[in-house]
Amino acid sequence: MKHLMSIALVALSASAWAQSVEIKDPWVRATVAQQKATGAFMQLTAKADSKLVEAKSPVAGVVEIHEMAMDNNVMKMRQIPGLALPAGKTVDLKPGGYHVMLLDLKGQVKEGDVVPVTLVFEGKDGKRENVEIKAPAKPLANMPAMPAQGEHKHQ
Ligand SMILES: [Cu+2]
């Protein structure tokens, strides 16, 4: 009974936060066999200023928040401590830009798999809330354009 109660509470707080930070079109890039890392992408729109500070997933041993940035004319990705989500502004996590990096994968992420990812948001008051999303796995080839390629060429 106690267990059931806590599940109900978690579900409640998750849905409350799903209203505070809108999460649209989450997806994970499908991997090939033996590939140890991939990215999760989505659009985040916060109602009040907040930050994405952490992410977790049962399919990955380590999950980090990454950005892509130019370093000596080479596009590199690096870990960032948090991704600012200004109120009302849609922040795009996409290939070639910000992404949730899934490292140390426990197995292949196949097209059509549904990958659970827990996002941890921190509000201005420092309060953290978890939201679990289910991101379908898709191959990158299905994307209409590959933004990373364009960014490489412009620089
Ligand atoms: Cu990365």
| Domains of the chain from N-terminus onward | 2-142 (2.60.40.1890)
99: region left, alpha or beta (phi > 0 left; psi from -120 to 50 alpha): beta
Mean pLDDT per 10-residue run, the chain (155 residues)?
54 50 95 95 95 97 95 92 96 95 97 96 92 93 50 40
Q: How far apart are CA 119 and CA 56, in angstroms?
A: 7
CA of 77 to the centre of ligand 1 (A): 5
The β-bridge partners of 84 are: 51
| pLDDT score for 94 | 95
CA 1 to chain centre: 33
Cα of 103 to ligand 1 centre, how many Å?
9
Three-state secondary structure string covering 107-119: CCCCCCCEEEEEE
Please tell me the distance between residue 9's alpha carbon and the centre of ligand 1 in angstroms.
33
pTM: 0.78
* C-alpha of 24 from chain center: 11
3-class DSSP state of 68: strand
Cα(15) to ligand 1 centroid in Å equals 28
Give the span between the Cα atoms of 136 and 115, in whole angstroms. Answer: 6
Cα of 65 to ligand 1 centre, how many Å?
7
Name the burial class of residue 132, with classes exposed (0-12), middle (13-18) and buried (19+) by CB atoms within 10 angstroms of its CB. middle
- pLDDT at 70 (0 to 100): 86
Q: Identify the pLDDT of residue 42.
A: 97
d(CA 74, ligand 1 centre) in Å: 14
37 alpha carbon – ligand 1 mean position (Å)? 8
105 Cα: distance to centroid of ligand 1 (angstroms): 13
pLDDT of residue 47: 93
